[in-house]
Structure 1
Amino acid sequence: MAAISYDNEAILKYFADRRKIDFPLLADPDSKIVRAYQVLNVEATGQFKGMARPGYFFIDPHGVIREKFFEAKYRERLSGNNVVAKLFPELGEEVTNSVEAPHLQLTVAQSDRIAFPGNRIVLTAEVRLSSDVHVYAPGARGYKPTNLLITPIRELQLKSAVYPRSKILYLPAIKERVPVFEGTFRIRQDVQVPTSADFSNSLGADGKTITIAGELEYQACDSKICFTPASVPVQWQLQVLPLDRQRAPEDIQHK
């Protein structure tokens, strides 16, 4: 992993030393690479002229761009761990916790324990089912479909939950075909930290911790019986810190 910036080497070294960054920061003071990747922020002027729109490219060993992640609004961006979670789900979980749940194993996780205004992180609910158990997927009729419900929070913006592809199970006893989940699957939900001045000011110097709560609804069945629908509380803790607005020393700043 590497980051490219229109800042010069001196600014990047100052920033990396102060923030203890241990991955490469590459200087592109003439914005040649920024232009080559077509991410130049043409609206930026003054000391910000030449900067890129923030985002991520996933490039394979052959130099081919396989994925890119950019947001429509300049101030909003996926966290690095969120990108990793989307590309490699098993690697992008910074915090995990097991939750007691009937008829299945439930683990909740999050891509980041710490976020900043503008960050988008991802919350995950991972379900593990034994080989003879299934749960109903969204769209099932007459049963309780699996549903991750996050309680709305005034301070955060909740995106739509993303469910994996279900399979169709034929129930010969009642001659029905229903969508189900089997084995191990993940439900993901992105959460956007706002960038408004009011929210940023509310963080103070030390930031604050926000509790994200909700529940996982589902109905499990094995080869012999369908169990009573269940609803299991789930919870995540997110620490939000203020943006680092400290600038580099004046003698190395953009002129």
Structure 2
Amino acid sequence: MRVAGLELAVITYDPVEIQQVYVDRQELEFPMLSDVGSAVIKSYGLLNESVETASRVYGIPHPGTFILDSNGRVLERFFERGYQPRNTVSSIAVKLGNPLRGTGVDGIRLTTDHLEAVAYPTDRIVAPGNRFSVVLDVTPKFGMHVYAPGSHSYQVIALRINPKEGLVTHPIIYPESEIYHFEPLDERVEVYQQPFRMVQDITIPTVPEIRQRAVDGGSLIIDGVFEYQACDDVICYNPVVLPVSWTLTLRSIID
């Protein structure tokens, strides 16, 4: 992370003594900051006061991750609906355009007549509740374009993950597209002609079966298809569907 210019810190309202017990038990290598009284937590609007004051979860900060600059200014924020589903650091780094060292080095390489692509997960080791990403770095070949989401009926380039075992797939994050003008029909459509990156977020379920498999050191297979339709200035080629699959190692939830 430091090579990518990032540091990780966790802030809670617990006193240092309680934090230290947790750090020692989990053998954590990142700092935990004690915010007794929740002054900092309140200043960022994170204090959860939406439940009764007698509730055991009253005052626990809303689950989220802030990206700060060296002056403490918020650059980005990533929030979840619950306390167990969390974005992984590698997934956040990819979305910020600054992948951590080693991300994608063992990606699946896909080559067709129309494009080249590298597909890879941001994390090879995941826990129940982790929200990680599958990334597609796509380079259309010279003279080719593929279709971005937009106001047209062409097949949009996509990654479709098999939602087995309760996997939750989130909307694909597409980059900004460009407008291609097909002069014979005076048609303008949203396309990609230059190298681009697509990001598909996936959340690992916290169901008992997956949790037990994680305790046992098991694995989880993520599979699906990469599909697109490519055209050049003259021909629109048949749609292409390519299978993709990754085997991820499961680890237990830190609690």
Match 2:247 to one of 237, 240, 254: 237
Percent identity between the two aligned chains = 34
The structure-2 alpha-carbon separation of the partners of 1:105 and 1:137, relative to structure 1 and needing over 3 Å to count, comes to same
CA contact (8 A) 1:106 1:125 kept: yes
Name the amino acid aligned to 2:65.
Answer: Y
Larger deviation: 110-119 or 134-143? 134-143
Show the 5 A alignment for 1:1-255.
Answer: 1=7, 2-42=9-49, 43=51, 50-91=59-100, 94-95=103-104, 96-102=106-112, 103-139=114-150, 141=152, 143-196=154-207, 198-203=208-213, 205-223=215-233, 225-245=235-255
Q: Give the superposed CA RMSD.
A: 2.8
Query: In 2, distance between residues paired with 1:201 and 1:98?
Result: 28
Query: In 1, distance between residues paired with 2:101 and 2:186?
Result: 41
Q: Deviations over 1:223-252 (max 9, x none)?
A: 55443332111222222222234xxxxxxx
Deviation at 1:25, TM superposition (A): 1.9
Q: Secondary structure at the match of 2:92?
A: helix
Query: In 2, distance between residues paired with 1:190 and 1:227?
Result: 29
Deviation at 1:181, TM superposition (A): 0.8
Query: In 2, distance between residues paired with 1:129 and 1:195?
Result: 38
Larger deviation: 207-216 or 220-229? 220-229
Name the amino acid aligned to 2:33.
Answer: L
Name the amino acid aligned to 1:183.
Answer: Q
Query: In 2, distance between residues paired with 1:168 and 1:27?
Result: 51
The structure-2 alpha-carbon separation of the partners of 1:168 and 1:201, relative to structure 1 and needing over 3 Å to count, comes to closer
The structure-2 alpha-carbon separation of the partners of 1:228 and 1:50, relative to structure 1 and needing over 3 Å to count, comes to closer
| Structure 2 gaps, min length 5 | 1-6
Larger deviation: 32-41 or 42-51? 42-51
Aligned length: 244
Q: Secondary structure at the match of 1:35?
A: helix
TM-score (norm 1): 0.81
Deviation at 1:137, TM superposition (A): 2.4
Deviation at 1:211, TM superposition (A): 1.0
TM-score (norm 2): 0.81
The structure-2 alpha-carbon separation of the partners of 1:202 and 1:21, relative to structure 1 and needing over 3 Å to count, comes to closer
Deviation at 1:110, TM superposition (A): 1.7
Deviation at 1:63, TM superposition (A): 2.8
| Structure 1 gaps, min length 5 | 246-255
Q: Deviations over 1:186-245 (max 9, x none)?
A: 22111112234x345532622421111111111223455443332111222222222234
